Amino acid sequence: MRDQRVRSGEIELAVRVRGVENRPTVVLVHGYPDTGAMWDEVAERLAGRFRVVAYDVRGAGASGAPADPLDYRLDALMGDLEAVLDGVGADEPVHLVGHDWGSVQGWEAVIGDRLRGRIASFTSISGPDRRHMARWAREAVRSGPRGVAEVLGQARRSVYMPVLMAPRAGEAAARVLAAGFGRTMRLREGTEPRPGHPAGTLAADARNGLGLYRANMYRAGAGRGEGASGDGRTDVPVQLIVPVKDRYGSQSLLLSARGPVERLYVRRAPAGHWVARSHPDLVARWIGEFVEHIEGGPETPGLAHARAAGRPGKDFGGDLVVVTGAGSGIGRATAHAFAAEGARVVAADIDEGAAERTVDEIQAAGGEAHVYGVDVADAEAMERFADYVRDVFGVPDIVVNNAGIAIAGSLLDTSEEEWNRIRSINLDGMYRGSRLFGRQMVERGEWGHIVNLSSMAAYLPSPEMPAYGATKAAVLQMTEGLRLDLDRYGIGVSAICPGVIDTPIVGRTRFVGLPRGAETELRERLGRASERRGFAPEKVARAILRAVRQDRPVVHVTAEARFGRALSRVSPTANRALARIGRRAGDRILAGIERN
């Protein structure tokens, strides 16, 4: 390890070099308001395999600051990077890694012509390119209300930017940042200056770094660089590390490089903005895999997955998705929806033939799917299923626990056998899917998401469906608790509460306490009613995909589900009164059936 000074115009930059001299060079560029020490843990892990270079950008840490407070244009920063490459003797193309504003610099390096031929690969963390960002905003607004909502959501995340750009307000914010959050950021987020740095530099760093915003965001096109691609295209291989809990950048914005970048690899990290400090092992492993591959090594399964995830228009490209109850209804529609978005699907069902038909349909449409027959009520069978998925396909990225049945009738007429059956499928099956695959996700240490199918029956009491409602209420509560538990691992958990959906579950509902003829006719009537309601399972599948994309805790899919949830919160008494009205209507229908 050695420290050296590199001159870039009037600025002296503090550079640290470590690792193996005859190995590929990895250059780490930090963001605001950090120093090069942010990379220390990652650099230590990479130093055994590569030559690793980290430096303090102008105005930060032990590097000098320009006399002009606006001399932080991207073209000046490109000059600094070029000087560092020259100063450390980087004769071969280097592998660039950037975080936050360091990533913005990295995009400028791989899109513009100034450093063409000197960058072998680029790993971007939490710093989108400004051209990609502008294109993303335009396309999102044109796409309709949801796109507009995404842009407004990102604007809310970026509310600090106008403050930092404003005269006086920015300086005041920098002082608050240094005084109020300095200790936390230094100790937890990686901005502690390395030995030899002047003590207490955070206040100066925060103030100097305002120039990054003011020089590059006030002036449209500032620092564009000669020959820079207007649409942000580059032929340099790029790896995006997207922290799914980043409070400053939405996932859709951070993924805005899809399309313009020809060779794009996308990794989702279960972390916040400073993922390099919170998960250095993961970040170092991903950087190492990427660099080795670009240098001629084999493509690992993880990189193959990341490459599939980088394809434009495929939000779940390469993801492994497990869906139970995939032979029909919501499960079948969900398997199709994920496959259409580029996912590899494992379609599981107790009826293996029905699951096989789902798989055949997906494959006929050009998707990838695999079948597995399993009874979710069988604990040992579920253990074998989880082991099979992990050993054959890998740890799933998304699990949709959908398998379920319905039983209707008075609780007084519900036998022990019927109670055990509905509980073992609707509740125990989802417990097992959540626990077994959740453990795998935690052990892998990467992003994941679990979806459990509940129902509006979870919060709308019904004398006709007490057993079904009890299991779905338990699923909702279990899912809420699991979400809080797995949040620390960066794994999302969602509960989906549909209303009246036109699915085969209605035709298979078991009615207890009724003569067989009455049960058959009532089932047919309910089937016709759900058909008239006309809410297709494909709409529920789309809601499930949105829940995963947006990491939603609970999704109430239909109008009646949303109304019922609101009523249960505002007036439980009115909720019960509505249930009594429904019971009287049901009694009249049943009396008419029995008379006939």
Q: Considering 265, 459, 468, 489, which one is annotated as catalytic?
A: 468
CB-based contact 525:423 (threshold 8 Å):
no
Spatial separation of the C-alpha atoms in residues 304 and 38, rounded to whole Å: 29
Burial, 438: exposed, middle or buried (Cβ in 10 Å; 0-12, 13-18, 19+)? Answer: buried
CB-based contact 324:402 (threshold 8 Å):
yes
DSSP tag of 293: H
How is residue 342 written in tokens? 């580029």
Spatial separation of the C-alpha atoms in residues 194 and 206, rounded to whole Å: 17
Q: Quick check: is 468 catalytic?
A: yes
For residue 112, give the 3-state DSSP assignment: coil
Spatial separation of the C-alpha atoms in residues 422 and 418, rounded to whole Å: 6
For residue 69, give the 3-state DSSP assignment: coil
How is residue 303 written in tokens? 């990189």
Spatial separation of the C-alpha atoms in residues 150 and 19, rounded to whole Å: 42
DSSP tag of 298: P
Spatial separation of the C-alpha atoms in residues 576 and 123, rounded to whole Å: 56
Amino acid at 122: F
Spatial separation of the C-alpha atoms in residues 26 and 68, rounded to whole Å: 30
Q: Which of 264, 261, 266 shows the shortest CA–CA distance to 232?
A: 261
Q: In what order do the strands lie in the sheet with 94-99?
A: 2-8, 11-19, 51-55, 25-29, 94-99, 119-125, 238-243, 264-269
Cα–Cα distances (Å) from 462 to 114, 457, 528, 561, 581, in that order, read 69, 7, 20, 14, 10
Active site residues: 468
